[in-house]
Amino acid sequence: MDRPITGFSLDEAGDWTATLNCGHRQHVRHKPPFENRPWVTTAAGRESRMGAMLNCVRCDSFELPEPADVVGRTPEFTERTLPDALRTNHTTAAGVWGRIVVTEGLVRYQVPALGVDRDLEPGVPGIVVPEVRHAVEPRGAARLHVEFLRARPR
């Protein structure tokens, strides 16, 4: 899915990477003649690309950014106390990842835009991708909570 560029940094090898608003990083090398991005070599060029979209395949594959820090969590919910807002299609804010942790029972996890409809259980958490609609529904008696994470700034 497309994600806007929020910053640039050099990696250990001295190659430019773009940071996207999901927290993932992606190489934006200038290595002619194979990769031609002369703009990345100047501060003005990089500035001109802030907010430009790059396709993030790591988001498409539910990959949490590394490293990421837990920045919050919900209370423990049961099938009776889970808020309606989490059961129906909803999203997290830009840059906010979630991890649905089931400690008892089975919970259906649906992410229509990414073709996911599966059951979560203890030991099988669900990853919530920032700004992507999803729905959660306990199948009978269940206990679960959600942890919120953000990529650690470099």
Question: Where along the sequence are the contacts to Zn ion (CB under 5 A)?
Answer: 22, 24, 56, 58-59
Taking the least distance from each CB to Zn ion, the nearer of 82 and 128 is 128
The DSSP secondary-structure symbol of 1 reads -
Side chain identity, residue 141: A
Taking the least distance from each CB to Zn ion, the nearer of 58 and 134 is 58
Taking the least distance from each CB to Zn ion, the nearer of 56 and 82 is 56
Nearest to 117 by CA among 93, 141, 139: 139
Using only C-alpha atoms, what is the Rg of the chain?
Answer: 18
Taking the least distance from each CB to Zn ion, the nearer of 60 and 79 is 60
Beta carbon of residue 103, minimum distance to Zn ion (angstroms, whole number): 28
Beta carbon of residue 38, minimum distance to Zn ion (angstroms, whole number): 25
Q: Is the preceding peptide bond at 67 cis, omega within 30 degrees of 0? A: yes
Beta carbon of residue 151, minimum distance to Zn ion (angstroms, whole number): 9
Beta carbon of residue 3, minimum distance to Zn ion (angstroms, whole number): 5
Beta carbon of residue 89, minimum distance to Zn ion (angstroms, whole number): 20
Tokens of 17: 């990477």
Taking the least distance from each CB to Zn ion, the nearer of 20 and 107 is 20
Q: State the Cα–Cα distance between residues 126 and 124, nearest whole angstrom.
A: 7
Q: Is 144 exposed, middle or buried (0-12, 13-18, 19+ CB in 10 A)?
A: buried
Q: Are 127 and 102 in contact (CB under 8 A)?
A: no
